[in-house]
Structure 1
């Protein structure tokens, strides 16, 4: 039998310095959990465990307890700490602890970056739910603890040394950094301690398209795509389509994309360069491949049929939907935005001058009323089906995916791409309040921590 409650950690309650394993609890907690005076229990905080002796302090009221006798810092709102007592095991689970892995930043200053407001929201939601929270860099993991930052409503971000978390969310934004040997070694250390790591790696465009193309129910919505391993792959795609999009398989923010058009025995190629587009003409496919092959020497590409997308005032449109798993492991769209490309742009990325609008507002302009509602449902169904399929056929645990979709000029929906580390600036969520995506991610992290899959793993001591 287990019983959950919120504890109140009181720093003013004195600890017995000569008895480092004593933990003072109130009579109310003793009664609720059937813990006797001087009974030994195991305290588990994150992936750390310690045997302590409970001392019932009659001066404590309600759910007040002393700080646990541990050598590391705590990352909870001290007035509301979710805890659970497992009677048969004589074990008190404090937490869980949810952490976020962030990119490297300078020395001991918390990173000033685009995701910082979102991470602060994750911290605030966690604290309100009684969950421990901190952020850290991979270089700050030791064999026994993790150095990072936790949140305080009074003081903001505070440095500390914390136990290994129950769940960790990988927000590294660089594929190159993520692949480094020492980073992968630290990921393995986290997992060896029993930490569940989600969104633990990028998935390249080639893999995602192959997965979706092989799913019968999604095949009609996935553009014909092929990895370019040699000139024959490119020539074959050019024989099938008059226009191709060439994308780096690890690309992001619309960088490195080529639009290739066959026109009057020549190839016209458009390539984004800095803030503008460069246009080139090649007399043959061979001459183009000779120039393009230099890029293939250091970057892998896919070739994809070019889609003629719906336009608004002459500007192409796509839709980015943020999908997050819930506590039943089902994928749900929690927010989304329509992206309208810059004039004459071949991509709609906001970083390339695109602008965002509400999806409903855009669909209402492009479709009759009854069709607009159907189009909205199609976007949701296609996004969640794509997430479910990607999740089923890839390694690791994924809790969040950004799905890009679009309609062509005939109103047919298409999958464009999936993002395993979606931007936190692109979904039309207001930062004036806590974003829905922050709440959903914390709820899923709590589910992972509490699920039997991870609860059965032993903590380190």
Structure 2
């Protein structure tokens, strides 16, 4: 019996061959072994295009060590590649184009602006989407600032809280500008008049760097820190969408975002939401609605963009209990659950893509066997 093989596709973080999520890949290799699934890791730079072989990174669960071996292409590919501004991302684009016919657990989702416009086509999602515009001229920013007391400026392809700005109208009529630069460092808060905002932001090159202007949701806790929720929606071992977990995130002091990489902390959703809403029954009802919403979003985006196996949704919940979708992340980390003390959810988050891969392999195998049987039953023309 042929053992199914899953190749985890990733990118080197630098030209020295550093891989970002090795501890996760080690856990996936071990979990895959228990499921009868072989797992190896590779990047586009490891592919020999002339003979379609891969110089793979393989983790030995017995010796607990990594080695390199030449392998044939896997039965399935799990794409974990995040956006980079480097030649490695060009290699990735070439790989995806050449081998796009292979079985991927997850396809490319597109940028924030495209996803937002796709979501707005479905009427049921519109009340959950903060108003968002593509920054094409200073007028786009001015119009949004006049319409909303709080707005965020986000890079169209940014991740991890990099390059995000927050502009909030103050009681005296001035505007407070806060943010993080491309290295996630907190930018010194500045104040400006409406007419002076553009001058303050000139160095950010909002148009050249392709920014979005988004309606802000008031999410400051009594201690002044912002918060939101990270929901992980994944395919299970039956090929069905299911919420694996949802955890709260509280930003660092002085931060406009809640990202863990920016100094934020994780907390159990129920605890954070109950404190925020101040009613446990209402909070429980909101949690259920959020889960239903998350599954619908995942199914809709898969229908729009092709096969997906997991998505992380960044959700905001205002004082009225309204659920807002701030962002969709197709290559989610799992550490938020470990840091929130939800170890079982963390383990499940690692295992579920593997269970889905086994299910997908079995489905393809059954379809092939059925087709082979039908082909044998076709009468000969001789």
Of residues 43, 55, 58 in structure 2, which corresponds to 1:150? Answer: 58
The superposition leaves residues 142-197 of structure 1 with CA deviations (integer Å, 9 ceiling, x where unpaired) of: 233111122322223232111111111111233435884332222233335xx312
Is the counterpart of residue 388 in structure 1 residue 299 in structure 2? yes
SS of 2:124's equivalent in the other structure is coil
* Cα deviation 1:327-375 (Å, max 9, x = unaligned): 5543211122110122232111112221111112223333322112112
- Secondary structure in structure 1 of the residue aligned to 2:201: helix
- The one of 106, 113, 118 equivalent to 2:24 is 118
* 2:126 counterpart of 1:216: no
Shift of 1:450: 2.8
1:348/1:120 CA distance change after superposition, 3 Å: same
Q: Give the C-alpha shift of residue 407 in structure 1.
A: 1.1
Report the Cα offset of residue 213 of structure 1.
2.4
Contact 1:310 1:407 in 2 (8 A): no
Does residue 187 of structure 1 match 2:91? no
Larger gyration radius, structure 1 or structure 2:
1
Q: Contact 2:5–2:75 at 8 Å: present in 1 too? A: yes
Counterpart pick for 2:214 among 295, 304, 314: 304
- Report the Cα distance in structure 2 between the residues aligned to 1:183 and 1:220, rounded to whole angstroms: 36
Structure 1 residues 312 and 404, CA, compared in 2 at 3 Å: closer, same or farther?
farther
For residue 49 of structure 1, what is the aligned residue in structure 2? none
Residues of 2 paired with 1:177 and 1:107: CA distance? 10
Per-residue CA deviations over 1:281-328 (Å, capped at 9, x if unaligned) read 33344x433553551253111111111126254433211011111355
Distance 2:47 2:67 in 1: 17
Unmatched 5+ residue regions in structure 2? 372-382
Q: Retained in 1: the 8 A contact 2:217–2:318? A: yes
User: What is the rounded CA distance, in whole Å, between the counterparts of 1:372 and 1:315 in structure 2?
Assistant: 20
> Residues 217-247 of structure 1, C-alpha deviation per residue, up to 9 Å, x if partnerless?
1111111111111122222222321221111
Distance 1:108 1:291, change over 3 A: closer
By percentage of residues, which structure has more strand? 1
Task: Please tell me whether residue 239 in structure 1 is matched to residue 155 in structure 2.
Answer: no
Superposed CA RMSD: 2.9
Q: How many residues align?
A: 360
- Whether contact under 8 Å (1:448, 1:454) holds in the other structure is no
- Taking the TM superposition and a 5 Å limit, the aligned residue runs for 1:274-289 are 275-285=185-195, 287-289=196-198
Given the alignment of the two structures, is residue 259 of structure 1 paired with residue 170 of structure 2, yes or no?
no
User: Helix, strand or coil: the match of 2:57?
Assistant: strand
Among candidates 352, 360, 363, match of residue 440 of structure 1: 352
Aligned partners of 1:433, 1:378: CA distance in 2, in Å?
19
Distance 1:144 1:189 in 2: 11
Q: Which residue of 2 aligns with 1:132?
A: 38
CA deviation digits over 1:74-121, x for unaligned, max 9?
xxxxxxxxx2xxxxxxxxxx1211110122268997x564x2221112
Q: Where does residue 225 of structure 2 map in the other structure?
A: 315
Secondary structure of 1:176's match? coil
Matched, 1:228 2:135: yes
**Residue 215 of structure 1, CA deviation:** 1.5
CA distance in 2, matches of 1:271, 1:105: 25
1:413 aligned partner? 323
Deviation at 1:266, TM superposition (A): 4.1
Distance of 2:138 and 2:282 partners within structure 1: 42
> Matched residues in 2 for 1:106 and 1:242: separation?
41
Aligned partners of 2:148 and 2:215 also within 8 Å: yes
More helix, by proportion: 2
Q: 1:105 to 1:179 in 2, by over 3 A?
A: closer
* TM-score (normalised: structure 1): 0.71
Does 1:161 pair with 2:67?
A: no
Task: With the length of structure 2 as denominator, give the TM-score of the two structures.
Answer: 0.84
**SS of corresponding position for 2:100:** helix
Gaps of 5+ in 1: 1-82, 84-93
CA distance in 2, matches of 1:412, 1:128: 41
- Report the Cα distance in structure 2 between the residues aligned to 1:433 and 1:223, rounded to whole angstroms: 29
